[in-house]
Structure 1
């Protein structure tokens, strides 16, 4: 069984957790509650080539980096269509469209996450989130009246949903009716709906409290 290791927060691990829920994959969740658990114990003792979290361990196979783990999972469970790949392995424009959207969404992350770690969070958050909103508006325009970014679900939607959750709490004026409907569709996907409904899962813990100024809604 796969083990997924990450902090006891959403952070870079949540889109992977959602993906596993959507794929219906059972896995062990190794949760790190303190810095000492990771940095003082497991980081250099798990045999990871590039020690970092999130990580997955699947038998003898070990992998880190939040950009690589979804690719492994989608290939392993034969859902490369969520990366835009054709079933027969031939080139598809869709695969580069997915990659493009992932890049755009990560650019929004770059404007979003550092603000949450700043000691001046309350002073700078509106200005910083407004910068990300410029790209977000382009994504809203791209989405249009489609159910998902490329009409049918791709991994880019998992990442966008996670960004939108930050905006929902920190800069809610950016969440348009179109985005609210989009988030509702994502939340009602098979597997994800059941995951969200699980009372043992805390989806309001976004970032580690020992590192961030804003770690989630109170």
Structure 2
């Protein structure tokens, strides 16, 4: 996308990481923006040079990734960026109570994502048995709590009947965490969470982005022990798509029975 002084600029690593909820927000709102993508070097050093050569020359008060530039406003910190976009595009609820609930969900999802990230960058991320154990303990407890909240709230989306930034944060961070072995089966047990993720996937504004640009990004940086390659991305999503195709195929080829 060609850069314009009137466009927002979003900078982050070439992965979903902590930046994808903001990307989803920008895509959902059909905002014209320029993306500055930074890449890690190859193993074993995984150089950060591509970022470091620009880090202190961008006018950022607290140089870090992700960053967002909007006119004379330069922001860092993933949640500050997400909340700013939420306010800018009216995706933070309709009143103070809804805004508080949205931010609470975003913070809770962030805690899950950080735990998942720390685990996947650790040596244990290389072990299938440890991944299953992490899913059964840490991830399951978060999913259980999210499901209970959604059951109590009884709205189409996480907070209210229209998407908010909480839906995008929940979608990406839960989807990432459930890429671990057993994640698909876990979501089958918690239908409120599963249905929320599906509603986000089916949003017309995201129907092209999620299966394409989103799908081409690894969950984490390439040096992580799990999630650093595209082939481990969003397994729950791929399974859902495959199952949907199978169901539609069987339905269309089912022989008619005379009554």
TM-score (norm 2): 0.73
C-alpha distance in 2 between matches for 1:58 and 1:102: 22
| Aligned residue number for residue 160 of structure 1 | 170
Q: Any idea what the Cα deviations from partners look like across 1:121-178, whole Å, max 9, x if unmatched?
A: 1153222222231121111122126422224222111111112212332141321244
60-69 vs 105-114, greater mean Cα deviation = 105-114
- Aligned pair partner of 1:83 in 76, 86, 92: 92
| Aligned residue number for residue 138 of structure 2 | 131
| Aligned residue number for residue 89 of structure 1 | none
Which consecutive aligned stretches of 4+ in structure 1 deviate over 6 angstroms post-superposition? Answer: none
How has the CA–CA distance of structure 1 residues 138 and 190 changed in structure 2, closer, same or farther, with 3 Å as cutoff? same
How has the CA–CA distance of structure 1 residues 16 and 124 changed in structure 2, closer, same or farther, with 3 Å as cutoff? same
C-alpha distance in 2 between matches for 1:27 and 1:132: 33
C-alpha distance in 1 between matches for 2:144 and 2:13: 31
| Aligned residue number for residue 43 of structure 2 | none
Q: Compute the displacement of 1:114 (Å).
A: 0.7
C-alpha distance in 1 between matches for 2:124 and 2:77: 29
Contact 1:111 1:128 in 2 (8 A): no
Determine which structure has more spread, i.e. the larger CA radius of gyration: 2
Q: Which runs of 5+ in 1 are unaligned?
A: 87-91
SS state of the match for residue 24, structure 1? coil
SS state of the match for residue 123, structure 2? coil
Contact 1:167 1:175 in 2 (8 A): no
C-alpha distance in 2 between matches for 1:201 and 1:72: 22
How has the CA–CA distance of structure 1 residues 100 and 213 changed in structure 2, closer, same or farther, with 3 Å as cutoff? same
Q: Which runs of 5+ in 2 are unaligned?
A: 1-6, 41-47, 233-259
C-alpha distance in 1 between matches for 2:214 and 2:100: 34
Let me know the Cα RMSD of the aligned residues.
2.0
Q: Compute the displacement of 1:51 (Å).
A: 0.3
TM-score (norm 1): 0.85
Q: Any idea what the Cα deviations from partners look like across 1:46-86, whole Å, max 9, x if unmatched?
A: 11100000001223321111111122223333x1xx22243
* Number of aligned positions between the proteins: 207
The reply to whether residue 29 of structure 1 matches residue 39 of structure 2 is: no
175-184 vs 187-196, greater mean Cα deviation = 175-184
How has the CA–CA distance of structure 1 residues 132 and 182 changed in structure 2, closer, same or farther, with 3 Å as cutoff? same
The reply to whether residue 111 of structure 1 matches residue 109 of structure 2 is: no
